A and B are shown apart, each in its own frame.
Chain A
Amino acid sequence: MTALLSVRDLEVNVGDVRVAAGLGFDLEAGQRLAILGRNGTGKTTLLSTLAGLREPGAGSLLLCGESYEKLGLRRAARLRGLLPQGHLDAFQSTVLETALIGRHPHLDRWAWEGREDERLAREALAAVDLAGFGAREVHTLSGGERQRLAIAALLAQQPGLYLLDEPLAHLDLNHQIAVLDLLSRRAREDGVGIVMVLHDINLALRHADRALLLFGEGRTLEGPAEAVLTVETLSRLYGHPLREMRDGAARYLVPE
């Protein structure tokens, strides 16, 4: 079976910063990959490269076995979805209309959103605890509600691969867990792949199968989360000493 995302010898640069060099990994259906790194190491740049929105410096990148160039923007948009950081709302729009933008790549040029699209959008809103918000104006939402709405638009897009840039930003604790549980369920039950930029090590330990660390200057480490997320690597990653605590089988990493 072809991997959802296949990365070989990938080199990513932004300005003078080398984000990754010689990066290679496969993400299979149902796997969840957490990307961790300090501020400014290029996590967002890497994610938009993986989304095909940025040319890599070198190397190859295959989505479902095909290059982005061959797929084209529209087909790619049906296979992978991106949750960007921050959301622009220059114009008025309702919550339902905003969730419906995820249906765009599935609609023909002259087609309008139909009942099925509306059902999917409402389901997505309910999944992020925004049921009943459909008619609200977007700019009346709080930061956390706006973030959940962006996740709902991504769910309505129904991609096979989710690329999420800090999906937990602005979310309160219960919604952080709810969103991660939702993503994990999609991975387990529907076999979608998840790539997410996270800052919480312990949530990454609980909700990721694999981890990718960006150390800066192009140095990266990728592997099974259990093996990669250790006191040694993470202390080195963040430049701050960490300590491991255990509660039965569960491991917790806390800053000294």
Chain B
Amino acid sequence: MPTRRRALLVILLLALLGLASLAIALAAGSLPVSAADIGRALFGDTAGDTEGVAAEVVRSLRLPRALAAFACGALLALAGALMQVLLRNPLADPYVLGISGGASVGALGAMLLGLPALLVHGGAFGGALAATLLVFGLARGEGSWTQTRLLLTGVIVAAGCGAAVALILSIAPENKLRGMLFWLMGDLSHAATPAPALLMLALGLLAALPFSRDLNLLARGDITARALGVPVARLRGGVYVLAALATAVAVTTTGAVGFVGLVVPHLVRLAIGNDQRVLLPAAALAGGILLTLADTLARTIVAPQQLPVGVLTALIGVPVFLYLLTRSPRGGAS
């Protein structure tokens, strides 16, 4: 029996874990920072303080990066959960409809032209939206808008983007390759500001939560949902736009970080069930926690070298996902 109390409990617990993960991200690194330093950096006045360096590192380096990681992980998990309902497929992810492919083409194209960082972000966002519109327009066709058709169109557009990315990589000069590869794998060292991702996260949750019970019905099929009073066509359009925007903002901030959007909603669903009223906020929090911790690992594990965080999420995600696939009676050949 789904109850509001249990939902609040789950969300409260995850929110506390989220705060803990942010605290770890602020404390960990080559410069040791104590809890007192973090407190002073966040809330206190440190002007003229001898501990100024630690506070400065926390405030202007670690905090924006940790927040960006948290927000992007949350956005990807939220978008993944929405896509899974939209495509009625627990194995869908935010990139399945070619959004990351489009963003990659845009971002790498901007890098190839030697454009400044801001325009690389702009290229990623533009590419993501272009791919979204292309898939939506093509899949819509004559109005019948089936999951299979949407999925196939997305896969094909993603494949086309993959070819374009390969082309860009093969003609790019050596000195740009490393940056491009990091972008493709997902990397937070160039995350400029967490503000757009945090704003999008707030907007996304505010837009999705009022409709979460409708989404429960959408997951059970169009006819069932419509017969029970859900405006299916409008809801699906809204979900598609929201998931695409959330993914585009996340990818623009961090590059194409993989597996968060696929594994996190799936794991959360296994743990607490498929009630979207709990699943959506819980997946967002869990995604934020995962990416924050993964990014902290990525910048400390072989410090002073930094790893692209996407490598870590994939290294964690692939075995977890394979385990789920063989275990779950619904995922594999049951």
Seen from chain A, the residues whose Cβ lies within 8 Å of a Cβ on chain B are: 48, 51, 53, 73-78, 81-82, 84, 87-94, 96-98, 100-102, 104-105, 107, 109-110, 112-113, 118, 139, 157
Q: Name the residue among A73, A76, A82, A118 with the largest chain B CB count within 10 angstroms.
A: A73
Select the stretch in B120-128, B212-220, B287-295, B316-324 that faces chain A: B212-220
Beta-carbon nearest neighbor of B213 in chain A? A104
A84:B223 contact, CB within 8 angstroms: yes
- In the bound complex, what is the Cα–Cα distance between A213 and B2 (angstroms)? 43
B2:A82 contact, CB within 8 angstroms: no
* Residue of B1, B2, B4, B226 touching A53 (CB-CB under 8 A): B226
Chain A CB within 8 A of B3 CB: yes
B220:A51 contact, CB within 8 angstroms: no
B229:A76 contact, CB within 8 angstroms: yes
A97:B223 contact, CB within 8 angstroms: no
A93:B229 contact, CB within 8 angstroms: no
B269:A73 contact, CB within 8 angstroms: no
Residues 224-243 of B, flagged 1 when their CB comes within 8 A of A and 0 if not, give 10111111000000000000
Q: In terms of DSSP, what is the predominant structure of the interface of chain B? A: loop
Number of interface residues of B (CB under 8 A): 33
Q: How many A-B residue pairs have CB under 8 A?
A: 89
Seen from chain B, the residues whose Cβ lies within 8 Å of a Cβ on chain A are: 1-4, 7, 84, 88-90, 210, 213, 216-217, 219-221, 223-224, 226-231, 269-270, 273-275, 277, 329-330, 334
* Residue of A91, A101, A109 touching B224 (CB-CB under 8 A): A101
- In the bound complex, what is the Cα–Cα distance between A53 and B233 (angstroms)? 12
Q: Min CB distance, B279 to chain A, in Å? A: 10
Beta-carbon nearest neighbor of A107 in chain B? B213
Task: Given A90-B330, A91-B219, output 18 extra A-B contacts at Cβ < 8 Å.
Answer: A73-B226, A75-B229, A77-B227, A82-B227, A84-B227, A92-B274, A93-B273, A96-B1, A97-B1, A97-B273, A97-B275, A101-B228, A105-B229, A107-B213, A109-B210, A112-B3, A118-B1, A139-B334
* Residue of A48, A101, A105 touching B220 (CB-CB under 8 A): A101
Q: Across the interface, which residues of B come within 8 angstroms of A118, CB to CB?
A: 1
B223:A53 contact, CB within 8 angstroms: yes
Chosen A-B contacts, 17 in total, with CB atoms closer than 8 Å, are A51-B227, A73-B226, A73-B229, A74-B229, A78-B229, A81-B227, A84-B227, A88-B220, A92-B269, A96-B1, A97-B1, A100-B1, A101-B220, A101-B224, A102-B228, A105-B228, A139-B329
Q: Across the interface, which residues of A come within 8 angstroms of B277, CB to CB?
A: 112
Contact A91 B269, CB 8 Å, known A97-B2, A110-B210: yes
- In the bound complex, what is the Cα–Cα distance between A96 and B224 (angstroms)? 16
- In the bound complex, what is the Cα–Cα distance between A199 and B111 (angstroms)? 66
Beta-carbon nearest neighbor of A94 in chain B? B273
Q: Across the interface, which residues of B come within 8 angstroms of A81, CB to CB?
A: 227
Q: Min CB distance, A133 to chain B, in Å? A: 14
Q: Across the interface, which residues of A come within 8 angstroms of B89, CB to CB?
A: 90
Beta-carbon nearest neighbor of B334 in chain A? A139
Q: Across the interface, which residues of B come within 8 angstroms of A102, CB to CB?
A: 228
Beta-carbon nearest neighbor of A150 in chain B? B224
Q: Across the interface, which residues of A come within 8 angstroms of B224, CB to CB?
A: 84, 87-88, 101
Q: Across the interface, which residues of B come within 8 angstroms of A51, CB to CB?
A: 227
